[in-house]
Amino acid sequence: MAQNSSATHEVLNQSPPFEDVDLFALDRPLVDAVAVNGGAAAEQELSRFGQHWGSAAMATRGRLANENTPRLRTFDARGNRRDEVEFHPAYHELMAHSAHAGIHNSTWNAQGKPAGGAAELVRAAKFYMAAQVETGHLCPITMTRASVAALAAQPDVLASTMPVIATRSYDPAFAPWWTKRGMTLGMGMTEKQGGTDVRSNMTRATRDGDGYRITGHKWFMSAPMCDAFLVLAQADQGLSCFFMPRFAPDGSVNAIHFQRLKDKLGNRSNASSEVEFENAYAMPVGDEGKGIRTIIQMVQLTRQDCAIASVGLMRSGLAHALHHARHRSVFQKHLADQPLMQAVLSDMALHVEASVALVMRLCRSFDRAPDQASEAAFMRLLTPAIKYWVCKSAPGFLYEAMECLGGNGYVEEGILARHYRESPVNAIWEGSGNVMCLDVLRALSREAEAAAVLQELADEVSGLPGAREAVAFIGQAFRRPDSERVARLAVERLALLSATAALNGVMPRHAELFAATRLAGNHAGMYGAVDLANSDISGLLARALP
C-alpha cells in the first residue's frame, strides 16, 4: 500500500489546548478571594462568565483581534477626511461581550453614582477573567467605566451621557453619541513634551458660547473610535478638563484629526493614536483650572484596572504552565511531577494567589470607600503601591510561565507570547513606576490616615515571619528626609505587607509561606529559588488548578 510521504510521525506528548474551561471555578484562589471580600452571592454569575470567556470561541476572537490589527483611514478615495479606525470583527465582538457583562459600567447606578454592594469586586473578577483572554479591547472598556468618576464634576454632562453609558449594548457605529445604543469614552492627556508632567500641556481651550474650542495635539490617545474623550487643555484659569465628542452638537464630525497609529510592542488589538485637535468642539468638565483634580478621579480607577489586568495575565500564564506541565512528559515523567518544576510552579502559584487576594482586597476598599473613611484611606494609600508592585512583577512572571512551556511558549500561536508582550504596558501607562512611588509618598503626607492603615496591616500580619521588621522598615523609610531616594524599597515592602495581610484573610497557611519567602527574606530573582515543603507545594498547586 502507498505510504503518505508526509506522515513521518504521530503528534504525541503535546498538551491539549487549555480551552473550554470555567475560568472562575478552576481558580480556587479567585473563588475564595471573591467570597472573603463580600462577593459570594455572585458565584453563579461569575461561573457563567468564566465558562463563556474560557471557551474556545472567545480564545479565537482574542487571537484574531490581535493578528488583524486596527488600521487608520485618514482620508477617503476622494481626499475627504475620514479619521476612522477600522477594527477586525473579532475586536467588535469582544467589545460587545464585555459590554453585555457590564464591565464598562456595572460599578455605577443609572445616575452615575457608585452602585454599592460588591459591585467593584464582582466587576473586578470579570475584568480579571476577561484579561486572561484579550486585554487590548479592555482599554476602552476600562476608560469608559472610569470616565464616570470624572464626569461627576459636571452634573449636566453626566446626566445627559449616563443613559447611553449605562446600557449594556456596544454600538460601533460612527455616529453622534446621543443617537447610539451605547457609548465608549477615552482620554487624552499625554503630549509630546510631557506625559507625567501634564502641567506642561500646550493644548489651548478658548470659550465659544456655552462650549469651548480646543487646538493642540496629544501624543498618545488610545481607543480613537471612542464616542468622546476627556482631554486636558489650558484655559484662561489654567489646566482644565473637557468632554470632547467625535461629533459636534450640530451633528458634524468634530475636528479630531488622527495623524497616525502607534506601532506598539503589545496591546495590538487596541489602537493608540497621535492626534491633532483643530478648533475641536468641547464642553467643560469641572471648574476651569481644576483639570488635574477632575481627571485624577478617572485615573484612580484606571490604575486599579491596570493592577487587576496584570494579575489576570499572570493567572493565565500560571494556568497554561500548570496545564502543560501536567500533560507533557520528559524523561518518562510528567513535568508536573518533576521536583524542580514543582518548585517553580508552586512558587509562581504563591505569587498569583497573593496577588489575586491583594487586588480583590483593594476592590473591597473601592466598594466601601464611599461609606467608610478607613477603607477610603486604604484605597488612597494602597492603589499606587499595588499598581506599582503587581504591574511591574508581571513581565518577569510571564517570561517564566512561557519557559514552562518550553519552545511552545515562545511562539505566537500560543497565548503566552502575546501576554508577555502585553504585560509591560500596565506599569508604563496611567502613571509609571516611579510616579506611583511618589504618589504613595503623597498619600503618606496625610500622616494620621496613613499611620492608621499601616497599623491595620500590622495587626493583620502580626506574628507572621518578617512582618514586624517590614512594618518598622516602612515606617522609618517614609520618615527619612530622603524618602524619595528609597521610595521603591519602601513601596515594594508596603505592597508585600499588604499582600501578606490580604492572603492571610483568605488562606493563612499560604500567607505564612508568602511572608517567609518574601518578607522574612528577600525573594530571589527567579521563581522556584525557594525551599518549600512537599505538602505546601501540593497544596499550592491543587488550589491553583484542580
Q: Which residues bind ligand FAD (CB under 6 A)?
A: 186-190, 194-196, 220-222, 264, 267, 272, 425, 428-430, 432-435, 438
Query: Nearer to ligand FAD by C-beta: 282 or 335?
Result: 282
**Nearest distance, CB of residue 272 and ligand FAD, angstroms:** 4
Helix, strand, coil percentages in the chain from 3-state DSSP, rounded to 5 = 55, 15, 30
Taking CB atoms, the residue at the shortest distance from ligand FAD is: 195
Picking from 263, 308, 354, the residue whose alpha carbon sits closest to that of residue 132 is 308
**Is the CB of 53 or the CB of 429 nearer to ligand FAD?**
429
Of 70 and 466, nearer to ligand FAD (C-beta) is 70
At 125, list the grid cell. Answer: 473578577
Specify whether the CB–CB gap between 65 and 48 falls below 8 A: no
User: Least CB distance from residue 398 to ligand FAD, whole Å?
Assistant: 17
Q: What's the rounded Cα separation, in Å, for the pair 450 and 456?
A: 10
Considering beta carbons, is residue 442 or 509 the nearer one to ligand FAD?
442
The gap between the terminal CA atoms of the chain, to the nearest Å, is: 46
Least spacing, CB of residue 396 vs ligand FAD, in Å: 17
Task: Return the number of the residue (282 or 454) whose C-beta is nearest ligand FAD.
Answer: 282
Write the single-letter amino acid at 319. Answer: A
The nearer residue to ligand FAD, 194 or 211, going by C-beta atoms, is 194
Q: Which of 164, 32, 51, 67 is nearest to 421 (CA)?
A: 67
- Which of 236/484 has CB closer to ligand FAD? 484
In the complex with ligand FAD, the residue whose CB is nearer, 286 or 433, is: 433
- Cβ-based neighbours of 275, under 8 Å, separated by 6 or more: 188, 217, 218, 221, 224, 256, 257, 258, 259
Is the CB of residue 157 less than 8 Å from the CB of residue 170?
Answer: no
Q: Considering all CA atoms of the chain, what is the largest pairwise distance in Å, rounded to the nearest integer?
A: 87
Closer by beta carbon to ligand FAD, 37 or else 201: 201
Task: Provide the minimum distance between the beta carbon of 520 and ligand FAD in the complex, in angstroms, as a whole number.
Answer: 30
Q: Shortest approach of ligand FAD to residue 224 CB, angstroms?
A: 9
CA atoms within 13 A on the CB side of 2: 3
Closest distance to ligand FAD from the beta carbon of 232 (Å)? 8
Closest-CA residue to 490 (of 405, 350, 385): 385
Helices (H), 255-370: 291-327, 339-368
Least Cβ distance, residue 197 to ligand FAD (angstroms): 6
Q: Which CB atom, from 228 or from 425, has the smaller least distance to ligand FAD?
A: 425
In the complex, minimum distance from the CB of residue 355 to ligand FAD, in angstroms, rounded to a whole number: 21
Task: Report the alpha-carbon distance of residue 479 to residue 182 in Å, rounded.
Answer: 49
Which 8-state DSSP code applies to residue 22?
Answer: -
**The residue to which cell 446621543 is assigned:** 178
Report the 10 Å Cβ neighbour count for 187: 27
Q: Give the other-Cβ count within 10 Å of 526's Cβ.
A: 11
Shortest distance, position 279 Cβ to ligand FAD, whole Å: 20
| CB of residue 291 to ligand FAD, shortest distance in Å | 12
Q: Report residue 92: phi and psi, to 5°.
A: -65, -35
Burial (CB < 10 A; 0-12, 13-18, 19+), residue 4, is exposed
